[in-house]
Amino acid sequence: MTKITCFPDNKIIEAHPNKTFLENLLSEDVPHTDVCGGQGNCSTCRVMILEGIDNCSKVTPLEIALAERLDFPFHVRLACQSLKLLPE
């Protein structure tokens, strides 16, 4: 199973492939901001993927629109939208 290492606490959680990144974090009691409640409107849930970005799903049109507007680099993703992890 895929693991997520959360910084700065170095907490390691098991990632369930049918959950978004945000859902995985919150279900493991990792505090994470999600001002719009996971609707893809606020960008406060953004995460930086330091390793394993190839294991993440493709960027959605919603993420692309926000990334272009806010000038995110490719390794910054919205935890609430498209980070369902692909099976290894």
Residues that bind ligand FES (CB under 6 A): 34-36, 38-45, 78, 80
User: H or E stretch including 65?
Assistant: helix 61-70
Name which of 1 and 63 has its Cβ closer to ligand FES: 63
Structure tokens at 85: 């992890």
Residue 86 Cβ vs ligand FES, minimum distance, rounded to whole Å: 20
Residue 46 Cβ vs ligand FES, minimum distance, rounded to whole Å: 7
Name which of 10 and 72 has its Cβ closer to ligand FES: 72
Report the distance separating Cα 86 and Cα 68, nearest Å: 24
Report the distance separating Cα 4 and Cα 41, nearest Å: 24
